[in-house]
Chain A
Amino acid sequence: MAITKVCGIETEYGIRVDSPDDMSPTTASSLLINAYIARLDRKVGWDFEDESPGRDARGYAREGSMPPEIETHLVNAVLTNGARYYVDHAHPEYSTPECSNPREVLVHDRAGELVLTRSMEAANRLLPAGEEIVIYKNNSDRKGNSYGCHENYLVDRAVAFSKIVHELTPHLVTRQVYAGAGKIGEEVPYAGQEQAFQLSQRADFFEEEVGLETTLKRPIINTRDEPHADAQKYRRLHVIVGDANLAEVATFLKVGVTALVLAMIEDNFFAGRDLRLASPVAAIRAVSRDTTLGTKVELASGDRLTAVELQWELYDRARKYAAERGLEALGDEEVARRLLDRWEAVLQGLESDPQSLSDQLDWVAKLRLVEAYRERHGLDWQDARLAALDLQYHDLRPSKSLFARLAMERLTDDEEVALATTEPPATTRAYFRGRCLQRFSSSIVAANWDSIVFDIGEDSLRRVPMMEPLKGTARHVDTLFEGCDTPAELLRRLGS
């Protein structure tokens, strides 16, 4: 039986500074995060003990590959909801806490947007009148620079990495039909003709099938092997090939279907037609460039399928998987059933009339908006006003966001999203992390994904390891916290 697909999303946000001073994006990002955490009682920093982003899942590092550097001197905080909020290079980045089902990830991804929006408001109150920091949830500056939205999934270490590569790649290449955030134009020339609109913000930036890099020669399957958990038992599959979505249906499907496909891979449920693509990198660009969805991609077998047809094949297998094996691996069977229904309805919509999904999917919503605006003003695709509209779709300022003006379908409500900015998910170790920070932050020196370090006034610091992502849940630790008034008492009860 596949292990529960604990998952989360890390989003690097775009940042623009409107100021006569030459404030660097790194400084602006620090100001932003500091302005937010200044509201909190006490800042708890990140513990870099277990960071090793250069480790490769294939068991070796290719010569010349470039693992990302860790910048320990930049702002880096852990929030009481179990999330990590930090400066990554020149961007503010928000990593949701570990969640145990796709809907929970969606709620925490939205909570991340709210944290960034509040940060922006807090930071702008500190700036002189007329100066402003503006945040965008997108992935490209339209000039060839991309920043990521990465998903993470807990995978059984026993599954061969090459099997994941073969069986997951066709899904990652084709899921952009619903998970693409839409982009006007292109940043990498392709097929010798000017491109008006693409499904994906990120497809332009993928050049390899498999690899360790995240900033150059980006691979469709990233091999970073940094489980942040018991490395004997688990992998953390680091998926870097997605767009940052604003549409809730898109985020739900992006994470949910990927988790489901991974569960099927883990349970050896990929019998049937071999869906391996002849050329995944060419295919991801070709699919992104066809808003009519008619382009067929070639499989290694020689068969040719559209992206939607390939998704139907995955869907049919998933229905069969659900019937024969159940949906336990998705953390919540009711959520998983809704996921399957939504996936089916969206594929139907894509097949019959993509416009019918303009209140559900980012790329469809954006394309509809752009087309209407272009028609009204008689604009060329190259007109700067369309490019501005593309960027402003992702603007997080409520007064400027174009996304916020569309009546997009919600799967969450405002109350649960607001709550998720401070409350951790109850069903993973993020719960223990969050509760510890809520209760005992003045005794916590540092925390990271798999441990918390306490200073309870003894000679040495005490590290509490959390190597099991599915332990430390509300069910496991609520009684532990009951009537526990000091961190020393907590540690005593933990027996450490």
Chain B
Amino acid sequence: MAERELKKRPTASREATAVETETEAPPTTERGDRLKAEIDDLLDEIDEVLENNAEEFVRNYVQKGGE
């Protein structure tokens, strides 16, 4: 039945927005490289701040129910 058919996405207006975003964004590889560098820095930091004994930390994190 027609009324039950899923509407096609995106609609015209959404398509227009999508195109705009595309032209504004830097080329994919550049963006990808930047993201990768960002996350690499972050992972270095995480290695430093992550709770020392992860296993013990996770085991000891026990909450009583609330609500």
Q: Which residues of A contact B (CB under 8 A)?
A: 12, 14-16, 25, 68, 88-91, 93, 140-143, 145-148, 150, 214-215, 218, 240, 273, 301, 303, 305, 309, 312, 316, 344-345, 348, 351-352, 368-369, 372-373, 376, 383-385, 387-389, 391-392, 399-400, 402, 405-407
Contact = CB atoms under 8 A, between A and B. Distances in A.
Given A273-B3, A348-B17, A147 B65 contact: yes
Contact of B67 (A15, A240, A373): A240
Contacts of B43: 372-373, 376
Nearest to B3: A273
Contact of B63 (A25, A345, A400, A402): A25
Contacts of B12: none
B61 A90 contact: no
Contact of B50 (A91, A345, A392): A392
B interface SS class: helix
Interface in B32-53: 38-39, 42-43, 45-46, 49-51
Given A147-B65, A368-B39, A312 B9 contact: yes
A305 B65 contact: no
Contact of A344 (B6, B14, B63): B14
Contacts, number: 113
Interface residues on B, range: 20 to 34
Contacts of A91: 63-64, 66
9 contacts: A12-B66, A141-B63, A142-B58, A309-B9, A384-B59, A391-B58, A400-B49, A406-B42, A407-B38
A74 to B, nearest CB: 12
Contact of A145 (B17, B49, B62): B62
Contacts of A384: 54-55, 57-59
